Amino acid sequence: MFWAEGAEVVAPGRSSLGRWFHRIRAALLSAMGRACPGEAGATLRALLLGARGELEPGIREGFRHAGVAHLLALSGLHLGIIAYGLWRALGLFRLRRDVRYLIAAAVVALYVPLAGARISLVRAGIMFGFLGLFWVLWERGWVLRDWYDPLQGLSAAAILVLLIWPWSALDLGFQLSFAATGGIILGWPLWRDSRWRAKLPRFLRSAGDLLWVSLCAQGATLGFVGSAFGHISPYGILANLILIPWTGLIIWAGVLLLALSPLGLAATLGGAVGPYLVDPYLAAVKFLAGLPGATLPVGRHFGLWCAFAALVFTAFWSCRRG
């Protein structure tokens, strides 16, 4: 392992696209800090722009013990919340689907570098691009709907990420991001096509969908999390059911804050977002993290046992389908 004892600025670099994005990101963080200061503002900036450095260690620890540390690591969840909200908003203007996709794709392409271009975000952005391009081609009749395979999109995203950052295969963020997405892709059809889902009322079906997606993601990443942190969080599925929709509200409150900043109205909204939206959110995380049995210690070979269990399950399922 290599690390730096310090850094020295030899000469200022030339202007670049990365520096431009960095300046814009700094301006956005500053505007959000003025509108919503304190712990609430730090949480808002972490959830929207990935600025986790300002969060107190106790808050980050609480998210980890509650089994929702992924909410602080910008990923496809955050990108999906923004893209879905934008898609619905553009639909109010009765725009064609291909036009909506082009606008959403441009916003996604801007959001990924502004939020730090983390591996999980880059992966989500690539998959969004593949999915959106496919749907545009399908609507024009150039491809068949059955041709789309989300695993191929995930594989393409993995290849592109590894071509750009070959060392990222050893990074925990890479492993968690692709394992969670793969688990959701493989596990979703089991629930989507089940008769239990078909019998549920519509409002319960949405809750069941979220619960199943959380179960698939957590099951696929269980070995990585246990091996990396030495414990697992059994309340994570329940916590996700409560906190993921809440996270969506906070993210869009942050977007609204940024939209109102030029008008001088952000401070008014920020004064309400903190005590009424973010502070109860942090209190819920703290409560879940403090429940008895919130963290269960595991051995150092836990990841290997999980991999073995996954192989046995895959073999059993393949034999059953065959």
Tokens standing for 204?
A: 């319960």
The secondary structure of residue 298, as a DSSP letter, is -
Burial class (CB in 10 A: 0-12, 13-18, 19+), 286: middle
With CA atoms as reference, report the closest residue to 50 among 134, 117, 97, 125.
117
Q: How far is residue 207's CA from residue 186's CA, in Å, rounded to a whole number?
A: 19
What residues contact residue 140 under an 8 Å CB cut-off, 6+ apart? 98
Burial class (CB in 10 A: 0-12, 13-18, 19+), 234: middle
The secondary structure of residue 30, as a DSSP letter, is H
Give percent helix, percent strand, percent coil of the chain, each to the nearest 5.
80, 0, 20
Beta bridge partners, 297, equal 231
DSSP string spanning 116-173? Answer: T--HHHHHHHHHHHHHHHHHHHHHTTSS-GGG--HHHHHHHHHHHHHHH-GGGGG-HH
Q: How far is residue 188's CA from residue 192's CA, in Å, rounded to a whole number?
A: 6
List the helix and strand counts (H, then E) for the chain. Answer: 14, 2
pLDDT digit string (tens) for the chain, length 322 residues: 445 566 676 766 666 777 888 899 999 999 888 888 889 999 999 999 988 888 898 999 999 999 888 899 888 889 888 988 898 888 888 888 878 888 888 899 999 999 988 888 888 888 888 877 777 777 777 776 677 778 888 888 888 888 888 888 888 888 888 888 888 888 888 888 888 888 888 888 888 888 888 888 888 888 888 888 888 888 888 888 889 999 999 999 999 998 888 877 787 888 888 889 999 999 999 999 999 988 889 888 888 888 888 888 778 777 766 5
Yes or no: say if 36 and 78 are a contact pair by the CB < 8 Å rule: no
Q: Is the pTM of this model over 0.85?
A: no
With CA atoms as reference, report the closest residue to 313 among 189, 180, 218, 187.
187
Question: What per-residue confidence (pLDDT) applies to 2?
Answer: 47
In terms of phi and psi (left: phi > 0; alpha: psi -120 to 50; beta: otherwise), the region of 76 is alpha
